[in-house]
């Protein structure tokens, strides 16, 4: 009786073994196919062709990601929700949008280098870009949106070593992980729809940046006591008064009013 049961168990085991082996082989094959497809769908940064279409979506998404990033940072450090947009319409901060484009273009040739070189390149580019944005804002509107004069190793209060370090880290993550994933998503947009959206959103972003610049320029004129002398100035005074702009740009500082 025992011999009979033993033979039955061996028969069942021998018949199940091939099925288990087949299932294991199929599982390995599916895993290999998934990894292959994933690698194909995510080209490394060095192999991605940078067209206007791609760079616009990098800019557009970067504008939104920047607002989200600053909002979370403010919440974590200051424990309050604060408006961090850079334009009068929509959740956009073009500093981050142009920064994302600059990082993508400038670091493309470094993307296959060691992580250290990408990090250092991102530090220099990010810190330099932050300095330039602050300088342009001051020269154009007499204001700045950040001021680091009281922080260690700052450069004219426009940037400092800590934020340059963050730029370096962000650039490394962007080049290695975020941009290849983002590009894979962009490529999944139906081409005809993507082109239409690109044209429409380009027109909107140009308008948004233009009207925002005009509103800030008119605000600087009001501070200087210059009255509205034409229909455009009157329109800007009526639709974009100081109270409205204060809500949009709560961190904006007038350079002439800053302590020495």
Locate 246 and state its tokens: 């204060």
For residue 185, which of 64, 35, 58 has the smallest C-alpha distance? 58
Locate 258 and state its tokens: 């800053």
Crossing angle for the helix pair 161-173 and 115-141, to the nearest 10 degrees: 120
76 membership: H or E segment, kind and range: helix 52-78
* pLDDT score, position 119: 96
Stated pTM of the model: 0.80
DSSP 182-249: HHHHHHHS-HHHHHHHHHHHHHHHHHHHHHHHHHHHHHHHHHTTPPP-SHHHHHHHHHS-HHHHHHH-
Residue by residue, pLDDT tens for the chain (260 residues) are 555 545 555 554 455 445 555 556 665 555 554 444 444 557 888 889 999 999 999 999 999 999 999 999 888 988 888 888 999 999 999 999 999 999 999 999 888 889 999 999 999 999 999 999 999 999 999 999 999 998 999 999 999 999 999 999 999 999 999 999 999 999 999 999 999 999 999 999 999 999 999 999 999 999 999 999 999 999 999 999 999 999 999 989 898 877 76
Count the alpha carbons within 13 Å of 143 in the hemisphere toward its beta carbon: 19
* pLDDT score, position 167: 94
* Residue found under tokens 């290695």: 176
CA separation for the pair 197, 200 (Å, rounded): 5
């Amino acid at each position: 009786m025992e011999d009979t049961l033993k033979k039955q168990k061996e028969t069942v085991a021998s018949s199940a073994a091939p099925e288990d082996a087949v299932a294991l082989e199929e599982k390995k094959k599916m895993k290999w196919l998934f990894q292959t497809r994933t690698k194909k769908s995510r080209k490394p940064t060095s192999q991605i062709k940078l067209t206007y279409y791609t760079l616009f979506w990098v800019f557009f998404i970067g504008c939104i990601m920047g607002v989200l990033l600053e909002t979370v940072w403010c919440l974590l450090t200051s424990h309050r929700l604060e408006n961090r947009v850079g334009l009068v319409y929509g959740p956009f901060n073009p500093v981050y949008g142009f920064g994302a484009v600059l990082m993508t273009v400038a670091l493309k040739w470094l993307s296959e280098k060691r992580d250290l070189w990408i990090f250092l390149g991102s530090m220099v580019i990010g810190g330099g870009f932050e300095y330039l944005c602050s300088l342009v804002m001051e020269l154009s509107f007499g204001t700045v949106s950040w001021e680091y004069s009281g922080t260690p190793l700052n450069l004219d209060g426009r940037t400092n070593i800590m934020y340059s370090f963050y730029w370096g880290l962000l650039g490394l993550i962007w080049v290695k992980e975020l941009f290849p994933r983002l590009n894979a998503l962009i490529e999944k947009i139906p081409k005809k729809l993507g082109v239409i959206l690109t044209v429409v959103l380009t027109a909107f972003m140009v308008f948004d940046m233009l009207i925002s610049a005009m509103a800030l320029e008119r605000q600087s004129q009001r501070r200087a006591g210059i009255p509205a002398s034409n229909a455009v100035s009157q329109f800007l005074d009526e639709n974009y008064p100081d109270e409205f702009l204060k809500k949009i740009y709560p961190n904006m500082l007038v350079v002439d009013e800053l302590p020495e």
